[in-house]
Amino acid sequence: MNKNILFIGGSLNQTIQMHKISEYLQDYNIWFTPYYADGYIRFLTKLGILDFTVLGGEFKRKTIEYLEKNNLQIDYEGKSRNYDLVFTCQDLIIPQNIRKSRIILVQEGMTDPETLWYRIVKTFKLPRWSASTSMTGLSDLYDVFCVASEGYKELFIKKGVKPEKIKVTGIPNFDNVQAITNSDFEHKNFVLVATSDMRETFKYENRKKFIRKAQKIADGRKLIFKLHPNENFKKREAEIKKYAPEALVYYGIPIEPLIANCDVLVTRYSSVVYLALALGKEVYSDIDTNILKKLLPIQNNGTSAKYIAEEGRKLLEFSNSRVYIPSNLPFWKYFKKKKLLGSKS
The pLDDT value recorded for residue 329 is 43
Instruction: Transcribe 182-214 into DSSP letters.
Output: T---S--S-EEEE---TGGGT----HHHHHHHH
Q: How far is CA 252 from CA 64, 184, 230, 233, 336, in A?
A: 17, 16, 10, 9, 49
What is the C-alpha end-to-end distance of the chain, expressed in Å? Answer: 20
Which stretches within the chain are classed as H helix? 12-22, 39-46, 57-69, 116-123, 150-159, 207-218, 233-243, 256-261, 272-278, 289-295, 304-316, 331-334
Within 10 Å of residue 175's Cβ, how many Cβ atoms?
Answer: 24
For residue 143, give every residue at least 6 positions away whose Cβ sits within 8 Å of its Cβ, in sequence order, or none: 102, 103, 104, 165, 315, 322
CATH architecture of 177-295: 3-Layer(aba) Sandwich (3.40)
Strands 322-323 and 343-344: antiparallel
CATH 3.40.50-classified regions of the chain: 4-175+299-344, 177-295
The pLDDT value recorded for residue 230 is 87
The pLDDT value recorded for residue 229 is 87
The pLDDT value recorded for residue 25 is 97
The pLDDT value recorded for residue 269 is 86
The pLDDT value recorded for residue 320 is 55
The amino acid that residue 255 corresponds to is I
Is CATH 3.40.50 correct for 4-175+299-344?
yes
All residue ranges of the chain with pLDDT < 70 are 1, 319-345
